[in-house]
Amino acid sequence: MSEPVYTGGTASLDCPPQARSPWLRIYDDDEALAGGAAEHIVELAAEAIARRGRCTLALAGGDTPRPIYARLAVSPWRDRIDWPRLQILFGDERCVPPDDPRSNYAMVRETLLKHVPIPPANVHRIRGETVPARAAADYQHVLEQLFGTDGTAHNRPRTGCDLVLLGLGKDGHTASLFPGLSAVAETRRWVAAEYVPKLNMWRVSLTPVVFNAARNVTFLVAGVAKADILQTVLEGPEQPRRLPAQAVKPDDGCLRWLADVPAASGLRSLR
Ligand code: 6PG
């Protein structure tokens, strides 16, 4: 990947001048990361709503975002979001029913949604209980309604997500784009269903077509267990089929990485 820009200080809404490089902010620990990420989401949501009247926010699954969503559910962050103007999407889903503890929707419902005044119609979950290919096709339709298509043969979203949150797996996966499988290489469909052998599970994921049309993409990475992979993804050679997180490079949007010190401890540029 191109050289990341290391920066500190307060969050800026627009990309820094080096906008086309990934931009990294490092927090002392996971608590500070959670507070900083909540602030980041609130600010970008307010910005999108002020400019365009709504904010489309695609959420990450996994454990890292839990404390971030929990913060958004309480004051002062909760009171700073115009919930009826927020449209909540999911970057990926495990193919399980919405009450299954493995469901990303269930995690978001418990940590965030049930505590805030968001209209149910503004929450667009991936139907993990459905046949995976059907769930993907249905979600593609949901996204087309929200974003419109650009009418070209490439079928791109006419407008992108205002903010996509993503996690990073120890193998370099992000959302449910896994190394060596096909969804990461998708250039046409916006949503893909894929069986992930190492998890023995079907997943449904937004594809790079959607992620790379976003105005903002922010990765959230915490803990020393992610140090090696964060270093490889940010500072190693480009091999997006092996490291799907590298396939996320918004065409015109801003790519940011928020990490804590343990996760960033392997970065050579910081030594
Ligand atoms: C999921 C995810 C996935 C996740 C990473 C990191 O459904 O599991 O969306 O891509 O973000 O695996 O997960 P952790 O935050 O739990 O490390």
Is the pTM for the entire model greater than 0.75?
Answer: yes
Cα 68 to middle of ligand 1, angstroms: 14
Taking alpha carbons only, the member of 159, 175, 155 closest to residue 167 is 175
The residue nearest atom 10 of ligand 1, judged by CA position, is 175
pLDDT band at 270 (very low <50, low <70, confident <90, very high): confident
pLDDT number for residue 14? 52
The residue nearest atom 11 of ligand 1, judged by CA position, is 167
Q: Percentage of the chain surpassing pLDDT 90? A: 86
Taking alpha carbons only, the member of 166, 165, 147, 167 closest to residue 155 is 147
pLDDT number for residue 4? 57
| Ligand 1 within 6 A of CB of 67 | no
Q: Which of 59, 105, 176 to mutate to test the pocket of ligand 1 (most atoms within 8 A of CB)?
A: 176
Half-sphere exposure of residue 98, counting CA atoms within 13 Å on the CB side? 11
Mean local confidence (pLDDT), 21-44: 92
- 102: pLDDT strictly greater than 80: yes
| Ligand 1 within 6 A of CB of 113 | no
- 243: pLDDT strictly greater than 90: yes
Half-sphere exposure of residue 200, counting CA atoms within 13 Å on the CB side? 0
Point out the ligand 1 atom lying closest to the alpha carbon of residue 203.
7
- 20: pLDDT strictly greater than 60: no
Q: Which of 59, 63, 94, 191 to mutate to test the pocket of ligand 1 (most atoms within 8 A of CB)?
A: 63
